Amino acid sequence: MKIILGSHSSGKTKRILELSLVNNVPILCESKERVKRLLEKAQGYGYRIPIPISLDEIESSGVKEVYIDEIDYVFEQLLKLKIGAVTLNKDDYNELEDLDK
């Protein structure tokens, strides 16, 4: 799993849009409004990405893999609560891409 890390306005969303375009993998979003914003951003970059999927569409989508933009918002919407902390294994499976370096 690739982890894209960066501060606000560092290019995280542009990077995940690029990955979606290149690998033909849809992006999972917390809402239909976010889907619309991602499509607008992709169009602005000239990217023809797979249609992003909102949380309420995921079960019926039939997709086997997704990329997640703004994972904190997705989990908070999914769980209906604020996320205070998370852990993630640092191993060969996870690849960190730090956009602030």
The Cα–Cα gap between 46 and 101 comes to 26
Q: Provide the residue type at 7 as one letter.
A: S
Could you tell me which of 14, 54, 12 has the C-alpha nearest to residue 30? 54
Could you tell me which of 67, 60, 57 has the C-alpha nearest to residue 31? 57
pTM score, whole prediction: 0.89
The Cα–Cα gap between 38 and 32 comes to 10
pLDDT in tens, the chain (101 residues): 899 989 988 999 999 999 999 999 999 999 999 999 999 999 999 999 999 999 999 989 999 999 999 999 999 999 999 999 988 887 777 788 899 98
Q: Provide the residue type at 30 as one letter.
A: E
